[in-house]
A and B are shown apart, each in its own frame.
Chain A
Amino acid sequence: MAARSWLPHPNLTLFLFIVWVLLMNTLSVGVVLLGALLAWWLPSITRAFWPEVPHVNSGWKLFRFMLLVLGDIVHANMVAFRLILGPTRKLHPAWIEMPIDLDDPFAVTVLASTISLTPGTVTVEVGRGHHKLLIHALNAEDPDALVAHLKARYETRIKEIFE
């Protein structure tokens, strides 16, 4: 706990540092020093808002998950392209309740955001106690298959990474 008190969110610190360097778009001594200072200081003064540190089990898996989602975003856009330009009468919009097995609030947030960014689905409501998500699908001919697909493709991976 002692190590935690001066560096409450190591991952957030790293992330803020990278954001700062990208923002400045150069890699000089001043930028690195100020970036390191801010990256250390900001998590310390905002820790009250974020008491639980999201725990990443495997950085490599997280990286692969991000690539997977990026690929799926491109694919989802191709699909949306076709659905929007095609006849709207052929769409099968549907409300879907998806049960989830994640406990960590941060993991639930990641899952909900991933679902909103990818295949024709938007997360509308996170159920109380994080046990289910309410999803609106633009075109779901088979809601059960869609839920199975989302669970297999994203939820299991997120569970491996964060829990």
Chain B
Amino acid sequence: MMATVIEFIVAALLLAGAAFALVGSIGLARLPDFFQRLHGPTKATTLGVGCTVLASAFYFSWLEGGISLHELLIVMFLFITAPVSAHTVARAALHRHVKTSSRTRGEPWKH
């Protein structure tokens, strides 16, 4: 009984994680300009990886009968590094004057 419940939780988390990662990748392919594409990896992937890792923590905690929490470190490091890398990439693009879609409003450095 317990096994079934755990399996359902793990399966649900894996599916949710995969769905978020997929949507993040679709965003990367589909959004019109560089800065909009940047939103995919900073958000969708954090939760995608988060769900997958949580599934792993559940599964191995149950399998080995203890608490397996080192997966949480992956999430923590990801939350610390994702904004920094996004910031670095965005700044590089800004300095190279990467084109933005014509719908983008407000370019504060122009006035």
Q: State the A residues within 8 Å of B (CB).
A: 19, 22-25, 73-74, 76-77, 80-81, 84-85, 88, 91-97, 112-118, 120, 122-125, 134, 136, 138, 143
Contact = CB atoms under 8 A, between A and B. Distances in A.
A97 B38 CA distance: 18
Nearest to A132: B108
Contacts of A143: 105-106
B84 interface: yes
Given A117-B43, A117-B82, A122-B87, A97 B72 contact: no
9 contacts: A73-B47, A80-B40, A80-B43, A80-B44, A88-B30, A93-B105, A97-B108, A117-B82, A122-B86
Contacts, number: 121
Interface residues of B, number: 43
A116 B83 contact: yes
Contacts of B73: 19, 22-23
Contact of A93 (B36, B70, B79, B91): B36
Contacts of B47: 73-74, 77
Interface of B: 20, 23-24, 26-27, 30-33, 35-36, 38-40, 42-44, 46-47, 68-70, 72-73, 76, 79-80, 82-84, 86-87, 90-91, 94, 100-101, 103-108
B53 to A, nearest CB: 12
Nearest to B80: A113
B101 A113 contact: no
Query: Which of the listed residues A24, A85, A113, A115 has the most CB atoms from chain B within 10 Å of its own CB?
Result: A113
Given A95-B105, A116-B86, 11 more contacts: A77-B44, A80-B44, A93-B33, A96-B106, A96-B108, A97-B108, A112-B83, A114-B83, A115-B83, A116-B42, A123-B86
A91 B36 CA distance: 10
A125 B26 CA distance: 26
Nearest to A81: B23
A122 B100 CA distance: 15
A84 B86 contact: no
A22 B53 CA distance: 14
Contacts of B100: 93
A96 B43 CA distance: 19
A117 B40 contact: no
A99 to B, nearest CB: 11
